[in-house]
Amino acid sequence: MTNFQKLTAAFCLASIVNLQAGYAVDPDEVLQDLALEQRAREISKGLRCVVCKNQSIDQSDASLAKDLRLLVRERLMAGDSNEEVTSYIVDRYGEFVLLRPQFSSKNLFLWGAPLFMLGAGGFLAVYFLRQQKKPAAEPQPLDADEQVALADLIKNQDES
Amino acid sequence: MIAEFGHYALVLALIVAFLQVIIPLRAAHTGDERGMTFAKYAAFAQFVLILIAFFALMNAYVTSDFSVQNVYQNSHSEKPLIYKISGVWGNHEGSMLLWLLMLSFLGALVGIFGGNLPPSLQARVLGIQALVGTGFLAFSLFTSNPFLRMDPVPINGQDLNPLLQDPGLAFHPPFLYLGYVGMSVAFSFSVAALLEGRVDPAWARWVRPWTLLAWSSLTLGIAMGAWWAYYELGWGGYWFWDPVENASLMPWLAGTALLHSAIVVEKRNTLKLWTIFMAITAFSTSLLGTFIVRSGVLTSVHSFANDPDRGVLLLALCVILTGGAFVLYAIRGQAMKAGGTFQTVSRESALIMNNLILSVILFIVLLGTFWPTISELIFGNRPSVGPPYYNIFAIPLMTVLAVFMAFGILLPWKRGDLKTVMIRLKWGAGIAVILTIVAFYLSGFKNILAVVGCLIGFWIILSTLTDISLRMKLFNGPIQTSLRRASGFPRSFWGGSLAHCGVGVTILGMVGTSLWVTEEQTIMTPGDTIEIAGYQLRMEKIENLNIANYQSEMGTFSLIKNGTVVNILKPERRWYPVAQQQTVEAAIQPRWAADVYVALGDPRGENNEARIVRAYHHPLVMYLWGGSVLMAFGGIVSITDRRYRVGAPKPKARKAEKPDAVGPMPDAVPAE
């Protein structure tokens, strides 16, 4: 595995579980060409098995997932690039198969809101911290009435 | 008969809970002392009644009373006893009962141990606790009653979902629920504080132990769920960003933020509004989790049989409780004035950053979980939001959080000096760099993310150790003096340090499992041997066995290192005939450095004599679980801190905390 693929593997901690046990890629599906097989695995990890609950085709043993895995390998053998394979499958099965949502206008909020929250939250936090730094307002001196009241209090305490 | 008894107790509990809302809340308002005292007795009575109901249901399970519909649907006479017991909460109705049991248990604890609370606050807390209880008791009785009988009585049950017949999953829900429900106490305290119009350091001191209990339990619950996924799903993953996992992560994130901001309220009398907000959020996300698991709005493998009607009712309950609390917050929140001031470089600032980042991660998890549903409502298409989305945001944010953490541990309250902190950090950071270089020298460079993860993991641990040794003045005088000093540290300091070390250890575990994994999958016939990360794995035999309520296809593998057999591994594939379902049980050799993991797959070969075998070498998985246990243990140690037991501090102690005592206090008794 190359570094990049290791990284991808780490990022794609992959999706959920079958209700049945998942064995995923059968040894008999594996391509002879190792580099091509690695690409196939990488693409598979980003594609959702449409009949499963929240699982990538790399993890699923559903027959539809197996068909898709074979399709991915078929397209790779035909010389498609990774992006071409993915878009080939998206064209046929819809955006739903992508585990990473597209950067599209419909998903603007999905991708933008976290950044906005971080920015707004950061701004508020910094604002709050700056407020904190200012020394608290000087206490107002007591007015005449209060001075008298205070003197009384002290006097009473002394007496008792 | 016993089931009816339980049913009756549950109805009584609803009545008691209802009275526990009305009487104490009114009494607290009018200052009627007798009414306020009523709350304690009601809370205790409510707990006893729900306990009776719970044992009545458990009795029906243990005796396999299939005239109770719930038992029929989720049990089987041949099931092992442990799963008959865990079957009680392995379904919607029963788990609701467990949820209620824990809610009332915590209410009773507030009644028993809350003697040092102001009576009106205690009455309000218990009133709000009972309000939550009333809602869910009514929900349970009217829509999800576990005590309904059926006629004619079936001969045998339909068996529990085989995935749940597993030690990891049997005891995962109680911990998780204690975590979810535990947040209700912080919620009740917050709403009560809003009603009282007063939040002070004493309030934070009362809230923190409950939050610690909930948080520790939730940490263990999540770790158990991840552990289960690791060995049960046949390929060694442990976290999938599945909606239900996210549902448990959200209250955890909010709870973590709450724990830290409550310290600021307690020590520095500021961030009050925010802490109340986090307390409400923590319980709201718990309720949301309850809703997600049971409503069917989001598909997930973990969810119970879904019923949209129940979902609507649950949503209504969530909205009323959460919405009500937030409205109250908006109306009464202004009354809370902040106290002490502090400088930009200080522990307060680090904790504010901690809260900011945790909240943003919480928002991302919330958005990602519900985006498919939102998008379907607005645009009519349902995209998938999978692991890549969460990882893109969460990994960098967690990295930044970890850096703030390493700094924050060594920063003093009020006013810190960046230079001093840098000097203090130098040893930890230096050793972390050396350890990381050694680790990568031994394993070979993989990628930059692994290096960063490794560095941060080591750094957090070392930063915590530096903090401890600085406070002990280790290397700075006789060791006896240092040890004596250490024995005087409050438990909450040790708890915090343990939990922080736990985070570092967990990070190392995550890096190890995700980046250094070796995978081997192949077809094996008995007698074949494969190589995996320096081990040989020899398949000895495959046998078919009938065990309890399932049939097992059990493989026997010898794990060989340097020519000697070091372990026998027995992975299984189980078939549960009643439930018509198959599960896979991986066999694992757990070691400190790395796990060897073997899972059995589909048959191959002309006479099915061969099997697909998946073998993995997972480095540092132990650290993942160990780190979580350390975090939870830290939480428990912190609960036992003296100041939570003795209640309000003596005036003298309070004097030392007065806001005008400026300057870093590295030698002062450590906080957390």
Task: Give the model confidence (pLDDT) of B348-369 as tens digits.
Answer: 889 999 999 999 999 999 999 9
Contact A15 B352 (CB under 8 A): no
Q: How many CA within 13 A on the CB side of residue B231?
A: 23
* pLDDT category of residue A137 using cuts at 50, 70 and 90: low
pLDDT at B336: 65
Distance from CA of A95 to the nearest CA of B (A): 6
pLDDT of B465: 92
CB contact under 8 A, B342 and A136: no
Reported as a pLDDT band with limits 50, 70 and 90, residue B603 is confident
Q: Which of A112, A122, A33, A48 is nearest to A79 (CA)?
A: A33
Q: Is the pLDDT of residue B55 over 70?
A: yes
Nearest Cα residue to B303 out of B250, B248, B249, B237 = B248
Task: State whether B581 and A19 contact (CB < 8 Å).
Answer: yes
* Residue numbers in B near A27 (CB within 8 A): 521-523, 612
Average pLDDT, stretch B555-581? 90
State whether residue B415 sits within 8 Å of chain A by CB. no
Q: Identify the band that residue B661 occupies on the pLDDT scale cut at 50, 70 and 90.
A: very low
H or E element in which residue B603 lies: strand B594-604
| Site from B238, B239, B240 to mutate, A interface, most A CB atoms within 10 angstroms | B240
Q: What is the pLDDT of residue A127?
A: 87
Cβ count within 10 A of residue A108: 10
Helix (H) or strand (E) holding B530: strand B529-532
Q: How confident is the model over B601-606, as a mean pLDDT?
A: 82
* Residue pLDDT, tens place only, B641-655: 877 765 444 444 333
Q: Which of A67, A47, A50 is nearest to A58 (CA)?
A: A47
Question: What amino acid is encoded at B466 in this protein?
Answer: T
Domain spans in chain B, listed from the N-terminal domain onward: 1-165, 387-516+625-656, 518-619
Nearest chain B Cα distance for residue A123, angstroms? 10
Whole-prediction pTM: 0.87
Q: Please, which contacts does B287-291 make with residues 24 or more away whose CB atoms are closer than 8 Å? A: B287/B317, B287/B318, B287/B321, B287/B322, B288/B247, B288/B250, B288/B318, B289/B180, B289/B244, B289/B247, B289/B248, B289/B250, B289/B251, B290/B99, B290/B180, B290/B314, B290/B318, B291/B315, B291/B318
Distance separating alpha carbons of residues B513 and B615, to the nearest angstrom: 14
Indicate the range of B1-10, B598-607, B659-668 predicted with least confidence.
Answer: B659-668
Q: Is the pLDDT of residue B10 over 60?
A: yes
d(Cα B44, Cα B55) in Å, to the nearest integer? 17
Distance of CA B117 to the CA centre of its chain: 28
What CATH code is assigned to A3-97? 1.10.8.640
Q: What is the pLDDT of residue A132?
A: 73
B28 confidence band (pLDDT: 50, 70, 90): very high
The reply to whether residue A10 touches residue B381, judged by beta carbons under 8 angstroms, is no
Angstrom CA distances, A5 to A1, B171, B236, stand at 6, 37, 18
Other Cβ atoms less than 10 A from the Cβ of B296: the count is 16
Give A119→chain B minimum CA distance, Å.
10
Q: Does B552 touch chain A (CB under 8 A)?
A: no
Q: B373 — contact with chain A (CB < 8 Å)?
A: no
Asked casually if ipTM beats, i.e. exceeds, 0.90, the reply is no
pLDDT of B84 > 80? The answer is: yes
pLDDT at B329 over 80: yes
- pLDDT of B302 strictly over 70: no
**pLDDT higher than 50, residue A12:** no
Q: Is the pLDDT reported for residue B156 higher than 70?
A: yes
In what helix (H) or strand (E) does residue B572 lie, and over which residues does it extend? Answer: strand B572-576
Domain layout of chain A by residue ranges = 3-97, 105-159
Interface A-B, measured as beta-carbon pairs within 8 A, has a size of 179
Q: For residue A145, count CB atoms less than 10 angstroms from its CB and return exposed for 0-12, middle for 13-18, buried for 19 or more.
A: exposed
Instruction: Show residues of chain B in contact with A99, CB under 8 Å.
Output: 384-389
- Asked whether the bond before B152 is cis by omega within 30 degrees of 0, the reply is yes
Question: Residues 6 or more apart from A158 whose CB is under 8 A from it?
Answer: none
